Protein backbone atom coordinates (compact mmCIF):
# COMPACT_ATOMS: atom_id res chain seq x y z
CA UNK A 1 0.00 0.00 0.00
CA UNK A 2 2.77 2.41 0.98
CA UNK A 3 4.79 1.54 -2.13
CA UNK A 4 1.77 2.11 -4.40
CA UNK A 5 1.17 5.49 -2.80
CA UNK A 6 4.82 6.52 -3.20
CA UNK A 7 4.88 5.31 -6.81
CA UNK A 8 1.69 7.24 -7.60
CA UNK A 9 3.12 10.34 -5.94
CA UNK A 10 6.35 10.05 -7.95
CA UNK A 11 4.46 9.62 -11.23
CA UNK A 12 2.25 12.61 -10.41
CA UNK A 13 5.28 14.80 -9.67
CA UNK A 14 6.89 13.71 -12.94
CA UNK A 15 3.75 14.54 -14.95
CA UNK A 16 3.43 17.94 -13.26
CA UNK A 17 7.08 18.63 -14.02
CA UNK A 18 6.56 17.85 -17.70
CA UNK A 19 3.56 20.16 -17.84
CA UNK A 20 5.56 23.10 -16.56
CA UNK A 21 8.40 22.73 -19.08
CA UNK A 22 8.51 25.43 -21.73
CA UNK A 23 10.23 25.63 -25.05
CA UNK A 24 13.28 27.89 -25.13
CA UNK A 25 12.97 31.03 -27.25
CA UNK A 26 15.58 32.22 -29.73
CA UNK A 27 16.70 35.54 -31.20
CA UNK A 28 19.04 36.64 -33.97
CA UNK A 29 18.95 33.39 -35.89
CA UNK A 30 19.30 30.88 -33.07
CA UNK A 31 20.65 32.43 -29.87
CA UNK A 32 18.84 30.73 -26.97
CA UNK A 33 17.39 33.33 -24.56
CA UNK A 34 15.38 30.99 -22.33
CA UNK A 35 11.72 31.74 -21.72
CA UNK A 36 9.62 34.82 -20.99
CA UNK A 37 10.62 36.10 -17.55
CA UNK A 38 8.00 36.33 -14.79
CA UNK A 39 6.34 39.72 -14.31
CA UNK A 40 6.32 40.10 -10.52
CA UNK A 41 4.87 43.59 -10.07
CA UNK A 42 4.04 46.80 -11.88
CA UNK A 43 3.35 50.32 -10.71
CA UNK A 44 3.33 53.94 -11.76
CA UNK A 45 6.10 55.74 -9.93
CA UNK A 46 6.72 59.46 -10.09
CA UNK A 47 9.76 60.65 -12.05
CA UNK A 48 11.87 58.21 -10.19
CA UNK A 49 15.50 57.83 -9.45
CA UNK A 50 17.54 54.94 -8.15
CA UNK A 51 16.58 55.35 -4.44
CA UNK A 52 12.82 55.42 -5.14
CA UNK A 53 13.04 52.42 -7.46
CA UNK A 54 15.15 50.44 -4.98
CA UNK A 55 12.62 51.28 -2.23
CA UNK A 56 9.83 49.99 -4.48
CA UNK A 57 11.76 46.79 -5.30
CA UNK A 58 12.51 46.10 -1.61
CA UNK A 59 8.87 46.76 -0.70
CA UNK A 60 8.02 43.83 -2.97
CA UNK A 61 10.99 41.48 -2.47
CA UNK A 62 12.08 42.39 1.06
CA UNK A 63 15.44 43.67 2.26
CA UNK A 64 18.81 42.57 0.93
CA UNK A 65 18.58 43.67 -2.72
CA UNK A 66 20.85 46.18 -4.40
CA UNK A 67 21.06 47.91 -7.77
CA UNK A 68 23.83 46.20 -9.71
CA UNK A 69 23.54 47.89 -13.11
CA UNK A 70 21.37 50.45 -14.88
CA UNK A 71 21.45 51.40 -18.53
CA UNK A 72 19.43 53.27 -21.12
CA UNK A 73 17.61 51.35 -23.86
CA UNK A 74 15.73 54.23 -25.50
CA UNK A 75 15.40 53.77 -29.27
CA UNK A 76 15.34 50.01 -28.78
CA UNK A 77 19.10 49.73 -28.19
CA UNK A 78 20.07 46.12 -27.52
CA UNK A 79 16.56 44.65 -27.83
CA UNK A 80 16.04 41.66 -30.13
CA UNK A 81 12.64 40.42 -31.32
CA UNK A 82 12.05 36.75 -30.56
CA UNK A 83 12.26 34.61 -33.71
CA UNK A 84 9.37 32.29 -32.81
CA UNK A 85 6.13 32.70 -34.78
CA UNK A 86 3.21 34.30 -32.98
CA UNK A 87 5.44 36.13 -30.49
CA UNK A 88 5.66 39.54 -32.14
CA UNK A 89 5.33 41.32 -28.77
CA UNK A 90 8.19 39.36 -27.12
CA UNK A 91 11.68 40.87 -26.97
CA UNK A 92 14.97 39.89 -25.35
CA UNK A 93 17.89 41.98 -24.08
CA UNK A 94 21.27 40.65 -23.01
CA UNK A 95 21.79 41.54 -19.34
CA UNK A 96 25.09 42.63 -17.82
CA UNK A 97 25.14 40.93 -14.40
CA UNK A 98 22.87 37.86 -14.70
CA UNK A 99 20.53 39.40 -12.11
CA UNK A 100 17.91 37.61 -10.08
CA UNK A 101 15.46 40.45 -10.86
CA UNK A 102 15.37 43.29 -13.35
CA UNK A 103 13.24 46.39 -13.61
CA UNK A 104 11.96 47.85 -16.87
CA UNK A 105 10.89 51.51 -17.04
CA UNK A 106 8.69 52.54 -19.92
CA UNK A 107 7.78 55.87 -21.41
CA UNK A 108 4.29 57.31 -21.81
CA UNK A 109 1.50 56.23 -24.17
CA UNK A 110 2.00 52.48 -24.03
CA UNK A 111 -1.62 51.73 -23.24
CA UNK A 112 -0.78 50.93 -19.61
CA UNK A 113 -0.69 53.67 -16.97
CA UNK A 114 2.09 51.84 -15.12
CA UNK A 115 5.67 52.82 -15.88
CA UNK A 116 7.74 50.37 -13.79
CA UNK A 117 7.73 46.61 -14.28
CA UNK A 118 9.67 44.20 -12.06
CA UNK A 119 10.61 40.83 -13.54
CA UNK A 120 12.10 37.72 -11.98
CA UNK A 121 14.89 36.54 -14.24
CA UNK A 122 14.11 32.97 -15.19
CA UNK A 123 15.84 30.19 -17.14
CA UNK A 124 18.60 32.05 -19.03
CA UNK A 125 20.04 34.48 -16.48
CA UNK A 126 22.05 36.32 -19.15
CA UNK A 127 18.91 37.44 -20.98
CA UNK A 128 15.88 39.47 -19.96
CA UNK A 129 12.84 38.33 -21.96
CA UNK A 130 9.67 40.44 -21.79
CA UNK A 131 6.24 40.35 -23.43
CA UNK A 132 4.82 43.81 -24.13
CA UNK A 133 1.30 42.35 -24.42
CA UNK A 134 1.54 40.85 -20.91
CA UNK A 135 2.77 44.25 -19.67
CA UNK A 136 -0.49 45.81 -20.87
CA UNK A 137 0.76 47.60 -23.96
CA UNK A 138 -2.09 48.46 -26.32
CA UNK A 139 -2.50 46.98 -29.79
CA UNK A 140 -0.62 49.82 -31.49
CA UNK A 141 2.45 49.40 -29.25
CA UNK A 142 2.88 45.62 -29.13
CA UNK A 143 6.01 45.81 -31.27
CA UNK A 144 7.18 49.23 -30.07
CA UNK A 145 10.18 48.26 -27.93
CA UNK A 146 11.38 51.88 -28.16
CA UNK A 147 8.90 52.62 -25.33
CA UNK A 148 11.29 50.90 -22.89
CA UNK A 149 13.49 53.62 -21.38
CA UNK A 150 15.93 51.66 -19.25
CA UNK A 151 16.75 48.42 -17.46
CA UNK A 152 17.88 48.20 -13.84
CA UNK A 153 19.40 44.93 -12.62
CA UNK A 154 19.02 43.81 -8.98
CA UNK A 155 21.03 41.18 -7.18
CA UNK A 156 21.37 40.12 -3.57
CA UNK A 157 19.57 37.80 -1.30
CA UNK A 158 16.26 38.38 0.31
CA UNK A 159 15.96 38.15 4.07
CA UNK A 160 13.75 35.18 4.92
CA UNK A 161 10.41 35.96 6.46
CA UNK A 162 9.81 34.65 10.00
CA UNK A 163 6.96 32.48 8.77
CA UNK A 164 9.14 30.91 6.09
CA UNK A 165 11.79 30.08 8.68
CA UNK A 166 9.10 28.61 10.96
CA UNK A 167 7.79 26.40 8.16
CA UNK A 168 11.28 25.24 7.25
CA UNK A 169 12.06 24.45 10.89
CA UNK A 170 8.81 22.52 11.29
CA UNK A 171 9.59 20.54 8.13
CA UNK A 172 13.08 19.68 9.37
CA UNK A 173 11.72 18.64 12.76
CA UNK A 174 9.19 16.41 10.99
CA UNK A 175 11.93 14.75 8.97
CA UNK A 176 13.96 14.11 12.12
CA UNK A 177 10.87 12.63 13.79
CA UNK A 178 10.17 10.32 10.86
CA UNK A 179 13.80 9.23 10.77
CA UNK A 180 13.76 8.38 14.50
CA UNK A 181 10.49 6.50 14.17
CA UNK A 182 11.89 4.41 11.31
CA UNK A 183 14.90 3.36 13.44
CA UNK A 184 12.67 1.86 16.14
- Does residue 82 fall inside a structural domain? yes
Residue 83 to residue 59: CA distance in whole angstroms: 35
- Does residue 93 fall inside a structural domain? yes
- Does residue 84 fall inside a structural domain? yes
What pTM was estimated for this model as a whole? 0.73
Closest to 114 measured CA to CA, from 65, 46, 64 = 46
Instruction: Report pLDDT for 169.
Output: 74
- Does residue 178 fall inside a structural domain? no
Instruction: Report pLDDT for 170.
Output: 77
- Does residue 99 fall inside a structural domain? yes
Instruction: Report pLDDT for 19.
Output: 43
- Does residue 142 fall inside a structural domain? no
- Does residue 36 fall inside a structural domain? no
Give the tens place of pLDDT for each residue, 117-134: 999 998 889 999 999 999
Q: Answer whether residue 76 shows pLDDT above 60.
A: yes
Instruction: Report pLDDT for 18.
Output: 44
The tally of domains found in the chain comes to 1
Q: Which of 136-145, 150-159, 172-181 has the highest mean pLDDT?
A: 136-145
DSSP string for 58-78: HHHH-SSEEEEEEEE-GGGTT
Q: Answer whether residue 173 shows pLDDT above 80.
A: no
Instruction: Report pLDDT for 163.
Output: 62
Closest to 69 measured CA to CA, from 44, 94, 32 = 94
Q: Enter the DSSP assignment of 145.
A: G
- Does residue 169 fall inside a structural domain? no
Give the tens place of pLDDT for each residue, 7-54: 554 455 544 444 444 568 888 878 899 999 999 999 999 877 899 999
What mean pLDDT comes out for the span 58-75? Answer: 90
Domain that holds residue 86: 58-129
Amino acid sequence: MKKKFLASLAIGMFVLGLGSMAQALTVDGGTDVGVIDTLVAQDKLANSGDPLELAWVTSILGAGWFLDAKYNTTDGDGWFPVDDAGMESVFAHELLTAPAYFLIKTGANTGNDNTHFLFQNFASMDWGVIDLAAMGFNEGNLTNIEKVSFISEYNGTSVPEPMTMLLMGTGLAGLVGIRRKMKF
